[in-house]
Chain A
Amino acid sequence: MRPTDITDPEYFHKVVDCQYACPAHTPVPEYIRLIAAERYTEAYMVNWESNVFPGVLGRTCDRPCEPACRRGRVDEEPVAICRLKRVAADNKGDVQAWLPEIPLIKNGKKVALIGGGPASLTVARDLAPQGYEIHLFDEQIAGGGMMRSQIPSFRLPESVLNEEVNFVLDMGIHTHFKTYVSSLHEVLNQGYDAVFIGTGAPKGRDLNIPGREEGKANIHIGIEWLASVAFEHTAKIGKKVIVLGGGNTAMDCCRTSRRLGGDEVKVVVRSPFAEMKASPWEKEDAQHEDIPILDNHVPKEFVVENGRLVGMRFEKVKAVYDEKGKRSLVPTGEPLVYIEADDVLIAIGQENTFPWIERDLGLEFDNWGMPVVSRKTFQSTLDQVFFGGDAAFGPENVITAVAQGHHAAVSIDLYCQGKDVQVRPSPLTNLVSQKMGIHEWTYDSIVVNDDRYKVPHAEKQKTLRDRKVEVELGFAKDTGFKEAQRCLNCDAQTVFYTNRCIECDACVDICPTSCITFTDNGEEDDLRTRLNAPALNLSQDLYVSDLLPQTKRVMVKDEDVCLHCGLCAERCPTAAWDMQKFLYSTSKASNVCGVLQL
């Protein structure tokens, strides 16, 4: 193999698994260390700079970071990254001093944001400090988009959402709420230098099976119903409720139903339980609230008697997989299952819809009715129009919307300054030794054995009575500290200096996880078979040195289960190993608070 090029920022970026997996590339270990140091405000700002909604995400994020967490590869469970984010948000002090200054004299460019959700708010946050005049349009009464209309208050208190939405709106954003934009053509005629479309995936998928029309008074589309609850148009539901669907919206629907009078709420889903789209913890929370989840049931008809919905019939199926692993649901042949219901909530997916965009503007749509958008620049085929969030590539999640908002804001900035949007600014990176003494590092290098801590919940009797009572209580400070100590500090990189190495094997002998091998060079496939421990995780790179001075062998380190404990560097007599903190911050349209440069 060729020697690893550690000057390529992507190499060490990939080693920080959580940050790499995060769509917005939040520097996770950095803020976790700040939490452990009780520097909650800075921890919050590290998050805010990267993901704009730490309080929201600390409660509701889909957490792509956690399955990626290195600790999950050596321990039972990963670090509770998401809930640590909430610790920072819950305990932060006054952040006003950290927020970017908004120039009084604007830069003369006007940008329209259509939709007030996480993507648009991110674009606003990134562009406002540069002096852009920003106009935000949303049909709702307040900003936040689906974070407000779809995420129930018992998971995300309104006060938390309002605070973070207002951090952005208070940057001098011109808001146009309760304003439905019905024509892109009109917007384009109003002299904006750029238009960003972050209108989400606002249409809930319907289920057209017999009885749908007759029973429509008691059959609701999940996201519409959640919005109606959020905006207090709906306060009640029948005693017996069926929720159709297996995603997180279904989980929110069933749990909300429990709080609005649903005594017997059931989730009914086509797929096997294990393959449901909902996050495991959301399924757990639903089951904890006495909501059974019936899997392998395909809805067949709504049963309506005397003009009123009384239940549904389902066909039982089992999942069969062909040799390519493709699943098909095959009926078991058992009689149809009848389940009584006063109300049914359909939460089987969301779709994009752009009825307000004229098709003759030069903005191309593909065969599926989606706009043609660049995955790199988020620019549409109409140069001044950009997309982001669910509107760009279909339903994803908040953190993805934020990440896309950052990219779009960079593009809008480049576009408005007359620059090539294809030429992306480099990420901000830094690599600094953490050595403080012969055996001392700036970070807590000792690896603790603690199991993952559980987040305490409020009492069920209390939370089921009021939909606004938050269920999760968040970690207390001391538990937050202990959970933070579980972090392996993967951003403390093991940097190897080939020319200093005397090949004494001290690092090999001390490495608890047998990551390091000195051997003759070879191709990767071959090298992986000759290491001190099996290197089976092909998604993790091998760090290969240049030829060593004495024996012309190479040092090979399998990044897979390195604990970043620093023992290799502590035992190294010549400082050929060093632990160096790698900072990686994605490029953004503006340097919003600079907390990472502390």
Chain B
Amino acid sequence: MTYVKPSFRHPDLPKNDLGFTKKDYEGAISTLCGGCGHDSISGSITQACFEMSIAPHRLAKLSGIGCSSKTPTYFLGNSHGFNSVHGRMPSVATGANLANRDLIYMGVSGDGDTASIGMGQFVHAVRRNLNVVYIVMNNGCYGLTKGQDSATADVGSISKNGMNQFQAIDLPALALELGASFVARSFSGDKTQLIPLIKAAISHHGFALIDVISPCVTFNNNTGSTKAYDYVREHITTADVVDYVPPGEEITMDYPEGTSADLTLHDGSMLQLTKLAPNWDPRDKLAAMQRIYMSRAKQEILTGLLYIDPNTQDLHDLIGTVATPLNELLEEDLCPGNAVLEEINRGLR
């Protein structure tokens, strides 16, 4: 196997605002199976961060255990990374975020890491509105242990173990229920949709879930699987098309009344959502719930930005933490001095 990627790149690769090319956002060569959807998601993260001109050292990648959680090695090789315990990525992300709120947190997890062993962690990170991008590379099976059905496998989906009988956990629906402020679903095989969603999630101030259907090419790409490339492509529907407009740039496209919505995010970037169902507002949580349930009933896979609350308050806002990252606090900030101590002590006597 060639574990070495040639170092030559296209000589005319474009540069971003920082003068970097896409190469500066790449990671090591992937050791996942060839054709794994996860590699495409890694590619989309790479592309999104390149296009957004994110300084690599301003981003931290966090993951748990599983095929999905190996991927941080394969993208953003110049960024920080923490490969945590199985299902515990949300806690590590919470700790990191509380310690340094200035970094961008890219949490990467799988359907096992999130919907099984990490479920207890996941739900609390959602309800606390932790400011992270939380990407679930969802292949409906445990790829790393040879393809057993996971908790997101649909009822009736066929794997090598036979037909799944158990109800699937619908992560976007669950996240909506728990108060997530950004909920999207996408497909690893559709980068034109996924890349703007990742950019929007990075710009969003609060918990941003992207549930990415990511076929397991080795164990779950068979006929009868609802997470196979061909099945997903046949059943996919799009709630809306997201056009990400970076801060400082103007929306230039005009769409007919009632078919698009423009949203301004916390960092000044804009989202233009088009091809919406008539008069559907992506800020309407009830409508989002309804659409998710309806498309599930029709056996459709609904993708796009399903719900967003652009003006939400994240964990720091809610608990009123200090605005400075903890590593930048000096002794005089942390130690108010003897006079203040005396004052406190006096109050306790």
Which residues of A are interface residues toward B (Cβ below 8 A)? 73-75, 438-439, 445-447, 449, 502-506, 508-510, 512-515, 533-534, 536, 550-551, 561, 563, 565-567, 570-574
Identify which of B37-45, B97-105, B255-263 touches chain A.
B37-45
Complex alpha-carbon distance, A534 and B10, angstroms: 9
Interface centre among A438, A515, A533 (most CB of B within 10 A): A533
Q: Which of chain B's residues has its CB closest to A570's CB?
A: B2
Q: Does B191 contact A (CB under 8 A)?
A: yes
Contact A449/B7 with A550-B229, A550-B233 known, Cβ cut-off 8 Å: yes
Complex alpha-carbon distance, A536 and B13, angstroms: 11
Interface centre among A445, A504, A565 (most CB of B within 10 A): A504
Q: Does B277 contact A (CB under 8 A)?
A: no
- Cβ A506 vs Cβ B35 within 8 A: yes
Number of interface residues of B (CB under 8 A): 35
Q: Does B163 contact A (CB under 8 A)?
A: no
The listed residue (A447, A508, A515, A550) touching B230 by CB distance below 8 A is: A550
What mask results when residues 225 to 242 of chain B are scored 1 for a CB within 8 Å of chain A, else 0?
000011001000000000
- Cβ B40 vs Cβ A505 within 8 A: yes
Q: Does B156 contact A (CB under 8 A)?
A: no
Contact A505/B6 with A73-B11, A74-B11, A570-B1 known, Cβ cut-off 8 Å: no
- Cβ B6 vs Cβ A512 within 8 A: yes
The listed residue (A504, A514, A570) touching B10 by CB distance below 8 A is: A514
What mask results when residues 210 to 229 of chain B are scored 1 for a CB within 8 Å of chain A, else 0?
00000101100100000001
* A-B residue pair count with CB separations less than 8 angstroms: 107
The listed residue (B8, B14, B33, B188) touching A563 by CB distance below 8 A is: B8
- Cβ B34 vs Cβ A571 within 8 A: yes
Contact A510/B5 with A73-B11, A502-B229, A505-B188 known, Cβ cut-off 8 Å: yes
- Cβ A536 vs Cβ B12 within 8 A: yes
Q: Does B30 contact A (CB under 8 A)?
A: yes
Complex alpha-carbon distance, A439 and B2, angstroms: 7
Q: How far is the CB of A97 from chain B (nearest CB, A)?
A: 37
Return chain A residues, CB-CB under 8 Å to B13. 514, 533
Complex alpha-carbon distance, A515 and B54, angstroms: 24
- Cβ B9 vs Cβ A502 within 8 A: no
Q: How far is the CB of B73 from chain A (nearest CB, A)?
A: 14
Q: What are the nearest 7 A-B pairs in CB distance?
A: A573-B35, A439-B1, A447-B6, A571-B34, A509-B43, A533-B10, A504-B35
Q: Which of chain B's residues has its CB closest to A514's CB?
A: B10
Complex alpha-carbon distance, A573 and B38, angstroms: 14
What are 29 contact pairs spanning A and B, CB under 8 A? A447-B6, A502-B217, A502-B221, A502-B230, A503-B233, A504-B40, A504-B229, A505-B39, A505-B40, A505-B191, A506-B34, A508-B40, A509-B43, A510-B5, A512-B7, A513-B9, A514-B9, A515-B10, A533-B10, A533-B13, A534-B12, A550-B229, A551-B233, A567-B2, A567-B5, A571-B30, A573-B33, A573-B34, A573-B217
Return chain B residues, CB-CB under 8 Å to A75. 8
Q: How far is the CB of A423 from chain B (nearest CB, A)?
A: 43
Q: How far is the CB of A490 from chain B (nearest CB, A)?
A: 14
